[in-house]
Amino acid sequence: MRVYVAGSSREPERVRAAMAGARAAGCVIVHDWLAAIEAAGAANEGLSEVSHARGDLERLETAETLWLLLPEAPAIGAWWEAGHAHARGLTIVTSGAGRERSIFMSLAHRHYCTDDDALDAIGGLACLR
């Protein structure tokens, strides 16, 4: 299964763990956007905002599933990616607290209280393919 993991860049350990777990479960991570941010450094040197944002969305379009790690830290990009995934008809899985912050989260196909529960479900789906 081809998965795009969306989350807050202010929660890098969580995002990194989710990507690693999905890979270990047999999923293909279509874009490691966190690695691009980390490579650019805190000043985002070398990252054009427009090309970076377009690149993220282009890679998202190659996924079958968007896994949204509901951000605990302030985030905007993850919500934008979730809207784009919904518009493209991708399967959307969410995990974590804060689902009640937006009525639009009711449009996700599945919600899990923890990232581990979501990973178990995503891994099970990957095995079925």
For the residues 9-20, what does the mean pLDDT come to? 95
Residue 2, SS3 per DSSP: strand
- The predicted pLDDT at position 46 comes to 56
Domain of 114, in residue numbers: 2-127
Does the pTM of the predicted model rise above 0.75?
yes
SS3 letters for 98-116? CHHHCHHHHHCCEEECCHH
Structure-model confidence comparison of residues 129 and 79, the more confident one: 79
CATH (domain of 105)? 3.40.50.450
In this structure, are residues 122 and 1 in contact, taking their beta carbons and an 8 Å threshold? yes
What are the tens digits of pLDDT across the range 35-80? 888 877 654 555 567 777 888 999 999 999 999 999 988 888 899 9
Residue spans of beta strands (DSSP E) within the chain: 2-6, 28-29, 65-69, 91-95, 110-112
CA angle 121, 67, 104 (to 5 degrees): 110
pLDDT higher than threshold 80 for residue 126: no
Dist CA 95 CA 113 (whole Å): 5
Dist CA 74 CA 100 (whole Å): 15
Number of structural domains found in the chain: 1
